[in-house]
Amino acid sequence: MNKDPRVQAATAHWSGRFVSNGVPLADFQDVTNSIDRWETWCEAWSARGAIHEELGRESLAGGFKLSAGQHLTVAGVCYHFGKFLFVQDPDQMQIAHRKAVECRNLALENLSPAGERVAIPYEGKTLYGNLRKPIGTDSPSVVVMAMGLDSAKEEMETNEGVFLERGMATLAFDGPGQGEAEYDFAICPEYERPIGAVIEWLSKRTDINSENLGIWGVSLGGYYAPRAAAFDHRIKACISLTGPFDLGACFDNMPSLTQAAFIHRSKAGSTNAAKKIAARLSLRGIAEKIVCPLYVVAGKLDRVIPHEHALQLADSATGEVTLNLIEDGGHVANNRIYKYRSQSADWMANQLNIY
């Protein structure tokens, strides 16, 4: 049987993201090699997640809390990658999603540093996030982490780590159309609204220095983060990882799975309606309002968001801009994380006066 082209594309292009965000390479190879049809994708990744979940629960029962947290985090990532683009079967997608959240929540208190599941009021409902604070730092500065179209807070362990290791707290949260919030809210082009609610919530915490706050966004979050920074000047520094400058301009050329996920999570109901929403995700006439320092990452081999979008953002922002154009990087340059992940974290630490 010939492999489904969607599975072939996943195998060819997603290894960097999966492995750099916590999936063991052998697991990526085993699972993708075992799948011929996209329809079995979620089931296969959920089965692999269950293996790590069992190891985590065994460690927890034995009192090995750190090991439990690590196993359960990997389980959560595997379940997450089962559901992340599996929008054609919402019921199966939601079952895998619940397992991802359950495993990460169970992991949080057993990690080093530990994490806290938090609930943030937003438009009469709730946005959920994971707050983690560096060990040995009172009232640390904080980096708010904006997810993308198909990422969620359960995928953020390795991305959180580079900030935590440098003395910054992290708050990874699911905003409208993302993770746990995708059921209550559609994608929100005006992302300064949920970010404003998050900052207001943080300002009430006595254990976080919310007056020294940065924002980080990945993929579509690479649009959300600078969009928020343009309107909310409480944000002291911004990192944008291969986000679109104008999503409507590249919608037609995005991979079919990405388009389907946008249609689903925007609650558009059709391709034409989704394109109208995508056209609202634009920084034209907005990027000029970004006055805080901005760190922009682009992969020149990006097949999802052309790297020219990052160049346009870098050219348009008013404040100080650092552009990291990675010649051999794909989308989010996940295949070359060593060329930007630690560098951008060091940059953020400098901007927030950690160093």
Q: What is the pLDDT of residues 165-219, one digit of tens each?
A: 999 999 999 999 999 999 999 999 999 999 999 999 999 999 999 999 999 999 9
Radius of gyration of the chain (CA): 19
pLDDT in tens, 227-270: 999 999 999 999 999 999 999 999 999 999 999 999 999 999 99
User: 96 and 203: one domain?
Assistant: no
Last residue of one domain, picked from the residues 74, 92, 112: 112
User: 243 and 349: one domain?
Assistant: yes
Kindly report the average pLDDT of the chain as a whole number. Answer: 97
> Would strands 125-132 and 294-299 be described as parallel, antiparallel, or unpaired?
unpaired
Closest CA to 169 of 125, 135, 120: 135
Q: Can you tell me the mean pLDDT for 41-51? A: 98
Q: Please state at what angle helix 41-61 crosses helix 25-34, rounded to 10 degrees.
A: 140
User: 29 and 52: one domain?
Assistant: yes
Q: Is the pLDDT of residue 10 over 90?
A: no
Q: How many CB atoms lie within 10 A of CB 146?
A: 33
User: 216 and 136: one domain?
Assistant: yes
User: 14 and 33: one domain?
Assistant: yes
Q: Can you tell me the mean pLDDT for 267-276? A: 97
Last residue of one domain, picked from the residues 112, 142, 157: 112
Looking at residue 1, what is its pLDDT?
65
Q: Can you tell me the mean pLDDT for 338-348? A: 98
User: 30 and 101: one domain?
Assistant: yes
- Domain, as residue range, for 256: 115-355
User: 36 and 156: one domain?
Assistant: no
Q: Can you tell me the mean pLDDT for 10-14? A: 89
Q: How many CB atoms lie within 10 A of CB 17?
A: 24
Closest CA to 143 of 166, 112, 116: 166
Whether 46 and 96 have beta carbons less than 8 Å apart is answered as yes
pLDDT in tens, 93-115: 999 999 999 999 999 999 999 99
In sign, the C-alpha dihedral spanning 351, 193, 314, 341 is: positive
User: What is the phi/psi pair of residue 254, to 5°?
Assistant: -75, 155
Looking at residue 190, what is its pLDDT?
98
Whether 214 and 143 have beta carbons less than 8 Å apart is answered as yes
Whether 246 and 309 have beta carbons less than 8 Å apart is answered as yes
User: 30 and 124: one domain?
Assistant: no
Looking at residue 11, what is its pLDDT?
87
User: 159 and 197: one domain?
Assistant: yes
Closest CA to 100 of 182, 39, 220: 182
Question: What's the total number of domains in the chain?
Answer: 2
> Would strands 169-173 and 235-241 be described as parallel, antiparallel, or unpaired?
unpaired
Token pair 């006595």 is at which residue?
A: 206
pLDDT in tens, 125-160: 999 999 999 999 989 999 999 999 999 999 999 999
Q: Is the pLDDT of residue 90 over 90?
A: yes
Q: What is the CATH number of the domain that holds 99?
A: 1.20.1440.110
User: 151 and 103: one domain?
Assistant: no
Last residue of one domain, picked from the residues 112, 138, 168: 112
Token pair 């179209």 is at which residue?
A: 149
Token pair 């910054």 is at which residue?
A: 168
Helices and strands of the chain, counted as H and E runs: 14, 8
Token pair 């400058």 is at which residue?
A: 245
Q: Taking the complete model, does pTM exceed 0.95, yes or no?
A: yes
Measured distance CA(263)–CA(149) in Å, rounded: 11
Measured distance CA(111)–CA(130) in Å, rounded: 12
Beta strands, E only, 178-228: 213-218
Closest CA to 40 of 102, 100, 96: 96
User: 187 and 230: one domain?
Assistant: yes
User: 108 and 121: one domain?
Assistant: no
Indicate the SS3 state at residue 126: strand
Query: What are the distances in angstroms from CA 227 to CA 62, 186, 231, 241, 246?
Result: 46, 17, 7, 13, 11
Q: What is the CATH number of the domain that holds 327?
A: 3.40.50.1820
